[in-house]
A and B are shown apart, each in its own frame.
Chain A
Amino acid sequence: DSGVTQTPKHLITATGQRVTLRCSPRSGDLSVYWYQQSLDQGLQFLIQYYNGEERAKGNILERFSAQQFPDLHSELNLSSLELGDSALYFCASSAGTALSGNTIYFGEGSWLTVV
């Protein structure tokens, strides 16, 4: 158990809908990362927050947004869903930031299926 908690574990929704994925980082970790894993793209970095502030952005679509709350939990909002958004979405956390060499621990992921 990595200590990173993600909910829901599985989600099936229709195209055009909006979903919210939730993440609680490991106790004491200030950084939260979101990654998307799809069959054709592999593991892609979406976005990172550090202590409530956005620190880095990757290949995140405009239809997607995220935030980190004062209690350090994070949410990833996916809207106007398309079939191609079906993927495993990972949240990860670390004590500091990635470039300081902190180990990044991943949650179990949220499986999103868009039908």
Chain B
Amino acid sequence: AQKVTQAQTEISVVEKEDVTLDCVYETRDTTYYLFWYKQPPSGELVFLIRRNSFDEQNEISGRYSWNFQKSTSSFNFTITASQVVDSAVYFCALSAKGAQKLVFGQGTRLTINP
């Protein structure tokens, strides 16, 4: 079975601070895909990134960066120089062979205070 754990339920930081959201996953499959989604207060789920299990290269997109480590089954997300607009619930998700669906973590509510 697949499982995603986001141990941080809520994080609150002051604007311009860096913040890292943790994601730990479980799967027995060798081929799988990891995702991050953002859910702002308006409710929609916004796709941020997809990573496959064969590509452990870290990725940077502007202020966002992702660190994928198979050795620790983690796919952490860092926001550098956070802004108030980054306030949202962030979900990590896993899609593995044999599962025609995304398995989501419980989400981390991130609040950026001015």
Contact = CB atoms under 8 A, between A and B. Distances in A.
A107 interface: yes
A18 interface: no
Interface residues of B, number: 24
Interface string B43-75: 111110010100000000000000000000000
B50 to A, nearest CB: 5
B45 A99 contact: no
A99 B44 contact: no
B47 A98 contact: no
Nearest to B33: A101
Given A98-B95, A101-B52, A33 B101 contact: yes
Given A2-B46, A101-B95, A42 B104 contact: yes
A58 B100 CA distance: 10
B99 A98 contact: yes
Nearest to B107: A42
A99 B47 contact: no
A98 B100 contact: yes
Interface of B: 33, 35, 37, 42-47, 50, 52, 91, 95-104, 106-107
Interface of A: 2, 33, 42-43, 45, 48, 55-56, 58, 88, 90, 92, 97-99, 101, 103-109, 111
Top 8 nearest A-B pairs by Cβ distance? A56-B100, A106-B45, A43-B104, A45-B101, A108-B44, A98-B95, A101-B33, A103-B50
